[in-house]
Every structure is written in structure tokens, then in C-alpha cells.
Amino acid sequence: MFRIRTLTDASAPANQKAIGEIQAIIRDQFSDMTDKDIAKLPDQISDPITHQFVAKVSVAEDGRGRIRGFSLLLVDPQLNFGYLELIATAKSGSGSGVGAALYEQIQQRAREKGLRGLYFECLPDDPELSPNPAIRKQNEDRLRFYEGFNAYPIMGTDYETPVTPGTTDSPYLMFDGLGEFMVPPAVTLRRIVRAILERKYADLCPPEYVQRVVESVKDNQYAIRLPRYGSTLPDVKQQAIAAKIPLIVNDRHDIHHIRERGYVEAPVRIESILKELEPTGLFSVKSPKHYGDRHIKAVHDTRLVDYIERACADAPEGKSIYPYVFPIRNAQRMPKDRSVLAGYWCIDTFTPLNRNAFPAARRAVDCTLTATEAVLDGARAAYALVRPPGHHAESRAFGGFCYFNNAAISAQYLSRYGRVAVLDVDYHHGNGTQDIFYERGDVLTVSIHGDPSFAYPYFTGFRNETGRGAGAGCNLNIPLPETITADIHREALKKAFVRIKDHAPAYLVVALGLDAAKGDPTGTWPYRAADFFKMGALIAGIGLPTVFVQEGGYRVRNLGVNARRFFEGVASVAKTPDLTWELKRKGGMGKNEPMKWRSSVVPADVAEIRRIVMATNAFSGEEIDIAAELAEERIAKGRVSGYEFILATQNGKLAGYTCYGKTPGSERAYDLYWLAVDPDRQRSGLGHQILERTEAAIRKAGGAFMIAETSSTGAYDKARAFYERVGFEKLVEIKDFYRPGDNKVIYRKSCPPQS
């Protein structure tokens, strides 16, 4: 068994491992690819401007997380086409259906994103173009495979003409209309062919060859080739069916039913939403899978989780335990009686513990993680329709009808694969999510809610709560007045989107409270069904893979309609131009801002540092982790950490940096820990500029010289050559320092005062 997921963040540790395995497959199976082309894969994912395509990498993983196959799809959001650069299976995955599953996923994602066709290359089966029978047989097998998916060669152009006369097996240009589109008219196809040849083969195809091929695309002289291997041409009039949103419903929610008067968090909430959603055809219902408690304990104190489980199991049949004594004087001493202990772990008096609270909340976690995995597997969005809700549950406390923080558990799960943003649109502040991630920089938390001066939970949700340590600046609260208009709320959403895009997440988790509705018994805001439609469309317009997790919403009369209209809004932009977001955010293709310099380190720099260091293709995974950890320590401790930074950024992207610090025990010596430049900006003089600024900073601090250490192995040839070129003196080489045959080389460079 295997699953397919998309790599949206090249710097996430789990994705770095996957990229390494992909590169190993490429080296093993594509002998004609250069080391440079293989090494650029992380940067293709991170930098669509330089590479002029948005790269979408999908991997098929087995149960142990090993890569059994991958695909690399390059998308041009302006010409609106996709180019399948690579698709391959590991030798262990051959013949297992991995390749077919990957191609089917590519087709589906292309339809969702509104692409008007897929293009790729396939070696020819014509004896005149491929005279070697053994090679031609392999080519035939590949063409037979793609023909089964209705992808065919485009005939009648010079695309398969060799660049060098006399060579063989020059590829066909293949076209897959995705069941919707014919081959485009000549004026469009010429632009697509030019884009492929100039961007992908600039080093191989001279301008005159490109022009010849482009000019060979003439109206009424080209067409897709008729099937040769038993398939039939697709009926392009049959429109492809849009992908449905996975819907995971807590099938055990109704056991948690508090019948006491005034308890609004009732089972009828789920029933009212389902009644409206089921007829829409927008959803595909999936059964929840079971996940281990480790996912809950990754965000909640183990003692809290264990207490809720035991207290619920021990509760009298048919009765609830309510917290009633709270440890404001001595929180360190825990009472023994579990009924009294409830107040130790709870933040209010109206969140009861009973026989069914734990199993219902536990199942809600399973549903949420099932939805999360659906997004990891490539779904554009997934909806966990659960109760009890979760966003008030903190690391060490439950409350507000919430026991386990479903949205936080989802965000924690996703954080292994990339940066995450949590957007909480519930009327009440998401205090639990804020608490759990308050000191982390990889997960941004944003909450739009009623001001705590009048709205639960009263003691959190203020504007000045912005994060701490590594999480400084990664918590945004937008409290709003008791009486607002829907337009005011939408303006708050747009403000949230600006911060989310600045965080550059790979995934979005939405804590979906529908209690902003007019007449909700817990809120005061005026949202109507049409406003929820607009909210859904706005959130979908961000263009991020999104997990929606149900939170509040208690006016049953309109709850289902509001939920339906929200997701109709989401579906209304199912083909939103999300692929252009990365380009727009960075100022557009080919437009370079002036280089910006700074010495402060912000949480977003950690991922950028990982990206640059990894892209150099010279450092081990352990070394990449160390580079990121130094930045994290500087963020957490400031200058007390002993690490100083100089960072150069352009177009919102880190171009290069140094990390240095005073040598312990020395008055005037400084250690140069890291100097790294984005591979695309090497040989531009940027490394010299960064070093000059580092020297100036050391001089200003009273330093006299800097020490740099590196390895003697071939992977560090460029680093040693750079040091020697810019004036470092080699002091000593310690044999076998790192490992046998891997010596430590120590350099010194003076930082004399300027005259």
C-alpha cells in the first residue's frame, strides 16, 4: 500500500528526506541528467520566479515513509498549461501501480487547477526516429502506458527533429487534454512550445533551432496522433467531474449529549449541517481512521489527556462532573479527588466530564487527522465535521465545550511537511491554539473574534499577544467590537490573509466557527448565509491546501444553511489561480527588487536558511539542521545566544547570509559559523558583499580577525576556493578529524581597521 502526497515546502525535514530519495531515483534512472539539474529540485519548489514554472512534486510513499515513486509537474499559470518533467518509480515500486496512480493524480490536480492541458515528452516508436529495436520496444511500452490515459503525440511539427543532425530518439511532444480540451490553436501552441524549449533547454537548444520548431507549428498542419495501442480517442465534450471535498463526520458524536438546560453544544448541530450538505454533491464522505494517542499528546500535556480519559471512565453512569474549585492560589499542589481535580485542568464551570465525553472527543481527533491526511494526499480541501469542538483546549487545560484541540492536532501533524497557518474564524478567541503554538515560529496562529472585554474566554485574545521566543510575531489576534457589519469582518479577514501570505505556509487549517451568524445564542454578529458564502470564497482564494475543522455555531435554525453556503463559496473558486500566488507575492516574474540587508532574524528565516543550505547540495542533513538551529537559538535568546547574523534578501526571499560570533575565551577573535549564498546568485559577487559587511560588523565590535573551519572533502572544494580567493589564510589541516579521510581545514582572515 502507498499514499500520494504533494511536497509544498522544500525545507520541512520530512520533505528534505523525500527530496533526497527522489534525487537518488533520478541518479539511478536518468543517467543523462547532470548533477546541477538534480541538485536544483529543492529550489524549483521554492523559487518559481527564477525557474519560470511553479513546480509541483508528488511522491508515493509506503507505510514506512519510503519513496516508491514521484512526479514533477511544472505549471505556467500565465499560459495555463502543465509540463510533466519527470515521473518515475523506484525499482521496488515497479509494476505495483505506482506510476499509474501518480499520473491519475496529476490529471486530477490539473483539472482542479483549471489547466487547459498537460504536455510532456516521450521517446518515439517510429523506426526511422528510433532504429534500435530494444530501445524502440521500451519507447512503445511508455507510449502504450500514456495512451491508456488518453495522452498522445502531437504530429505535424518539427518538435521531434534532433538538435544535432544524425542523432536518434529525439522525443515527441505529448498532449493530454484532460478529457476537456482539444490541442490548442497554433498561436497558443507556439507560445507553449517556445516556453518549454527556452526555459527547459536553454543550454541545449540554440535560438535558431527554437525558432525553427516554433515556426513549424502552423494552423491545420498538426494534430494528435490516432491511437495505436488499443485505446480510443476521448470525447472532449464530456466535461471532467470536479474533485469533491472529503467529508469526515464524527460518527460517535451523538453519544456526547448533555441534556441539561442551556447546554447548546448538542448533537442536532451535526444533523442540521449534514442535512444541508448531503444534497449539494460537493462532498465525498470518508470513514475516519484510528490514530494513536501520540498525536494528541504532541500538543497536550500527557497528564491532562490521561486525566480526561480516567475521569470520564470513572464518572457515574448518566451523570456529569463539573469543575467547581479552581487552583488560583496554589496550582502546584494537585488534589486527589477527581471531582475536585476537574478544576485543576479546566478553565470554566460549564464543560462537564462524563462517560461519553472522552470517546466522543477522541473520535473527533481521528476524524480531524483523517481529513488532514486527505489534504496531505493531495485534496485541495477536506472538512472534519466534528463535535465536541476543540479550539479552547490548551496544552494543559480543557474548557469551552472543548477537550482536545482538533485544529492544533491537525496543524502539528502537517508541520512535519511544511509551514502551517491556523485561521480561527469562530466568534470566540481560539485561546487553546494560541497557547499551544505561542512559542513556535513554524505554525502561525490567527484569530478573528469578539473582543475579550465582552466575549468568552475573556482573559485571552488581546492584540498585544503576538508570540514569545521563537514564536515572536507568529500570533495575530484581531478582536472586533460587539456590534459590527459583515464588511468590517471581511476587512479583518483580508488583514489576516496579508499576515498568512507573509508567513508563506504550505498548509492552512481553518477553525470553522459558524457562530458569527445573526441570532447565534453565543454571539452578537450579523452574518447571514450570503456572508458565509463570501467568507468561504475569500478563504479558498488564498489557494492553500486547507483542512476545515468544525468549531462553534449554535443557532440550529440556520446553522446548516450557513455551512452549506460557506462550502458553496469554497467550491465557487475550486479553480482559483492559486498557482500565481507565489509569483504575485514575490513581485512577479523577472522583477527584482533592490537587495535588502538586515541583522535581525525572524521566524520565517529559519525555513529560508534551510532552503539555501540544502540547495547548495554540499551539506548533510545533520549540518542543515544545525544551520537552522543556530537561527532558532538567536530568535529565542537574542544576542545572549552568541550568534550574530547578516542577511541579504531580494523579492522577499533570502539570497544569502552569514552567521558568526565571538570566540569564547578570546578578546578579539570571531568564528564564522556559516556563509551561504543561494545557488542561483552565486558568482554574482553577493558572497563578497556579505563577507565585507561581516568584517565591518566584527571591526565595529572590536574584533581583529575571524576563523573559518571546513572539510577537506571534494564536496567542500568550492567553499575552500572561496575562502582562499577572498583573503583567508590556511592555518592548519587536522587529519581524519571528522572521519577517516575527512580532515578539518582551519582558515584565518584579519579584519584590520579601515584607514
DSSP state of 228: S
Give the three cell numbers for residue 719. Answer: 567553499
Residue from 341, 439, 363 nearest 395 by CA: 439
User: Which residues contact residue 80 at a Cβ distance below 8 angstroms, ignoring those fewer than 6 apart?
Assistant: 114, 115, 116
Half-sphere exposure for 485 (CA within 13 Å, toward CB): 3
Helix intervals (H) in 268-383 = 268-277, 294-297, 302-314, 338-345, 357-376
By residue count, the chain amounts to: 755
- How many H-runs (helices) and E-runs (strands) does the chain carry? 23, 23
Structural element, H or E, at residue 628: helix 621-637
CA distance from start to end of the chain: 69
The strand pairing partners of 423, in sequence order, are: 446, 510
Quote the cell numbers at residue 302.
Answer: 500527557
Amino acid residing at 695: E
Catalytic residues: 392
Residue pair 173/119 in contact (Cβ under 8 Å)? The answer is: yes
Residue carrying C-alpha cell 512535519: 416
Question: β-strand 2-7 against 54-62: which pairing, if any?
Answer: antiparallel
Cell numbers that stand for 733 in this block: 589541516
Pairing of strands 475-480, 443-450: parallel
- C-beta atoms surrounding 578 within 10 Å: 20
Helix (H, G, I), strand (E, B) or coil at 461: coil
Q: Helices in 472-603 by DSSP H: which ranges? A: 486-503, 529-540, 556-572, 581-585
- Alpha carbon 83 to its chain's center: 21
